[in-house]
Amino acid sequence: MTQEKAIATPSKTKEILHKHGFSFKKSLGQNFLIDVQILKNIMQHAGIDKETGTIEIGPGMGALTEQLAIHSDHVVAFEIDQRLVPILEETLQAYDNVSVVNKDILEADIQNEMKEHFKEGQPIKIVANLPYYITTPILMKLLMEQLPISSITVMIQKEVAERMAASPSSKSYGSLSIAVQYYTEAKVVMNVPKTVFMPQPNVDSSVLHLTLRTEPPVQVENETFFFDLVQASFAQRRKTLNNNLARHFSDKYTKQEVAELMELADIDGSRRGESLSMEEFARLANMFYKSVQK
Ligand code: SAM
């Protein structure tokens, strides 16, 4: 395929827009990619080959879908906007390995769609330029459903990508970093200028690459309890763990008892949540969980 024919160019995108009288819906996070080189870089980071099945969320007019169709075995693309379905039929007519699913990804039964469209045991990767207004709910759904996928490569808001990939003691580190890194190894692989989108978004973008873990990096007694405790530890970032956790457990323990449990877990209560590693959070959560169970 020649670059002139690619969907992801300003002229081709404008041509499709005019032909179909399409108007962007800001409420659906519609910022379409108009730079083939950026798409090629995304593909490289995603590590796709002809054996791989791919899932895309929000194909738009098919800019990224086209690259996935060329480089992977089969693409399943979830698109919420019904108006885009006939457009995609036309822009992707040269490819017989694309299935467009006209569904809200947050409502869709992804497992079932995967069974329907992919071969059993086939390696599956997710690649997408996500709608920014629901980045976190989408990624958390993909991770918590524990889909049989090996990686997720997504364009998202730069600040959110940094929070998801952040290390302890950095400005961006918080409960979202722990939630994402519990399931994956997270890395920001590239920053992307606003100029490669039509229309241009108000925020900067980055590509985040998530490699799914086969096992969590820490052992926790109860995942819900662990994530609740992590969230509580960051409830007021400037406050110490003593303060945040005393508030979280106020109907179960006195301040003194909270301090004692922290000591038993060998965590200094005068520290702030942002300084704790995932391993330390796990130790803390397991100590409180065992005590609550007694
Ligand atoms: N992939 C295209 C590209 O790169 O040019 C479009 C990306 S655009 C940032 C996001 C796309 O997600 C839009 O096509 C939008 O209609 C779609 N979308 C928004 N919310 C969605 C949802 N809940 N489920 C599925 N698709 C959604």
Listed in sequence order, the residues at least 6 apart from 106 whose beta carbon sits closer than 8 Å to its beta carbon are: 134, 137, 138, 141
Our count of domains for the chain comes to 2
Q: Which atom of ligand 1 is least distant from the CA of 39?
A: 4
| C-alpha dist (Å) from residue 268 to 23, 240, 273, 284 | 55, 10, 11, 11
Q: Are residues 175 and 80 in the same domain?
A: yes
In a domain, 218, yes or no: no
Q: How far is the CA of 141 from the centre of ligand 1 (A)?
A: 16
* Substitution candidate for ligand 1 out of 17, 81, 92, 153 with most atoms within 8 A of CB: 81
Residue 182 CA to ligand 1 centre (angstroms): 26
- Ligand 1, residue 31: give the atom nearest the CA: 9
CA of 260 to the centre of ligand 1 (A): 49
The answer as to whether 78 is a domain residue is yes
Between the CA of 31 and the centroid of ligand 1 the distance, in Å, is: 8
Ligand 1 binding pocket mutation candidate from 12, 55, 57 (most atoms within 8 A of CB) = 57
User: Model-level pTM?
Assistant: 0.96
Q: How far is the CA of 235 from the centre of ligand 1 (A)?
A: 31
Rounded distance between C-alpha atoms, residue 123 and residue 120, angstroms? 9
Are 193 and 146 in the same domain? yes
Question: Which residue range is the domain that position 88 belongs to?
Answer: 10-212
Q: What tens digit of pLDDT does each residue of 185-240 get?
A: 999 999 999 999 999 999 999 999 999 999 999 999 999 999 999 999 999 999 99
Q: What distance in Å separates the CA atoms of residue 208 and residue 282, rounded to the nearest whole number?
A: 25
What are the pLDDT tens digits along the chain (294 aa)? 443 479 999 999 999 999 999 999 999 999 999 999 999 999 999 999 999 999 999 999 999 999 999 999 999 999 999 999 999 999 999 999 999 999 999 999 999 999 999 999 999 999 999 999 999 999 999 999 999 999 999 999 999 999 999 999 999 999 999 999 999 999 999 999 999 999 999 999 999 999 999 999 999 999 999 999 999 999 999 999 999 999 999 999 999 999 999 999 999 999 999 999 999 999 999 999 999 998
Q: From 247, 288, 243, 242, select the one nearest 265 (Cα to Cα).
A: 288
Which of 25, 32, 65, when mutated, tests ligand 1's pocket best, judged by the most ligand atoms within 8 Å of its CB?
Answer: 32
Joined together, the tokens standing for residue 206 give: 């980055």
Domain CATH number, residue 65: 3.40.50.150
Distance 57 CA to ligand 1 centre (A): 6
Residue 2 lies in a domain: no
- Regarding whether 188 and 163 lie in a shared domain, the answer is yes
Find the CATH number of the domain harbouring 229. Answer: 1.10.8.100
106 CA from centroid of ligand 1 (Å): 12
Same domain as 148, residue 70: yes
Q: Which of 13, 24, 80 to mutate to test the pocket of ligand 1 (most atoms within 8 A of CB)?
A: 80
Length of the chain: 294
